[in-house]
Amino acid sequence: MNGRMNTRFFISLFIAVIIVLSVAPAPVLAQGATNIVVVDTGAANIRSGPAANTTILGSVRGGIELPVTGRNYDTSWWRVVSPYGIGWISSELVVFRGILDAVPVVTQPVGTLELPQVIVDRFDANVYRNPNRDSFVLGIAPTGSLFFVSGLTVDGDWWQIDTPVGLGYISVDEAVLRGDLDLIPVVYDPGPSFEGPTIRVNTQTPVTTAPAGGDVIGTLTPNTALPAYGRTADNTWWQVSGPFGAGWIPVKDISLVGSAGNIDQVSGFTSYAGGVPTGEAAASILIEAERKVAYNEASYTSAPMWDAYLGERGNVIARSLDGMWLQVVIGNYDGWMDFSGITLYGDMSLIPAVDTTPPPIQNIVIINTGRLNIRNGPGVEYASIGSVTGGTSLDVTGKHPTLPWIRVEHPIWGTGWVRIMYIIFRGNWNEVPYVEEPVGTLEMPQAYILVPHNVYSQPDFAYPTGVVAPGMYTIIGRTADFQWALIETETDIGPVWIRFEEFELRGIADSAPVVWVW
136 shares a domain with 79: no
Q: How far apart are the first and last CA of the chain?
A: 111
379 plus 347 within the same structural domain: no
Q: Note whether 177 and 149 are same-domain residues.
A: yes
- DSSP letter at 474? E
Out of 354, 385, 401, a domain closes at 354
Residue 229 φ then ψ, to 5°: -100, -15
**Domain count within the chain:** 5
Cis peptide, bond prior to residue 109, ω within 30 of zero: yes
516 falls within a domain? no
Task: Identify whether 440 is part of a domain.
Answer: no
Strand 265-267 and strand 230-232: the pairing is parallel
CA distance 416 to 367: 14
Max intra-chain CA distance, the chain: 134
If asked whether residues 391 and 348 sit together in one domain, one would say no
Decide if 90 is inside a domain.
yes
- Which residue range forms the structural domain that includes residue 52? 36-102
Q: Is residue 491, in this structure, part of any structural domain at all? A: yes
Decide if 109 is inside a domain: no
Shortest CA distance to 259 belongs to which of 375, 139, 131? 139
Instruction: Write phi, then psi, for 200 (nearest 5 degrees).
Output: -135, 125
388 and 451 share a domain? no
69, 131: one domain: no
User: 251 phi and psi, to 5 degrees?
Assistant: -80, 85
CATH number at residue 470: 2.30.30.40
Instruction: Out of 354, 385, 408, pick the residue that ends a domain.
Output: 354
Q: Do 289 and 348 fall into the same domain?
A: yes
| Statement to judge: residues 121 and 178 lie in one domain | yes
Distance CA 200, CA 225 (A): 4
**Could you say which of 162, 187, 212 is where a domain stops?**
187
Indicate whether 461 and 420 sit together in one domain.
no
Does the residue 24 lie in any domain? no
In a domain, 250, yes or no: no
Whether 91 and 121 share a structural domain:
no
Which 8-state DSSP code applies to residue 360?
P
Output the CA angle 176-193-241, nearest 5 degrees: 130
What are the φ/ψ torsions at residue 459 (nearest 5 degrees)?
A: -75, 65
265 Cβ contact partners less than 8 Å away, ≥ 6 residues apart: 230, 231, 232, 233
**Pair 384, 402 in one domain:** yes
Q: Measuring CA to CA, how many Å separate 361 from each of 204, 300, 304, 393?
A: 45, 15, 19, 15
Q: Which residues contact 4 (CB under 8 A, 6 or more apart)?
A: none
Per-residue pLDDT of the chain (518 residues; tens, 9 = 90+): 444 444 444 444 444 433 333 333 433 443 445 899 999 988 899 998 998 878 888 889 999 999 999 999 999 999 999 998 999 999 999 999 999 999 999 988 877 777 788 999 877 888 887 887 766 667 778 888 889 898 998 889 999 998 876 788 999 999 998 888 888 888 876 654 545 578 889 999 999 999 988 899 999 998 887 788 899 999 999 999 888 888 999 999 998 877 898 899 999 999 888 888 899 999 999 998 878 999 999 988 888 999 999 889 999 999 999 999 999 999 999 999 999 989 999 999 999 999 988 777 889 999 999 989 898 889 888 888 888 999 999 999 999 998 899 999 999 888 999 999 999 999 889 889 999 888 777 777 888 999 999 999 999 999 999 999 999 898 888 998 989 999 988 888 889 999 999 998 877 787 788 888 76
The residues with which 165 forms a beta bridge, in sequence order, are none
Domain-embedded: residue 29: no
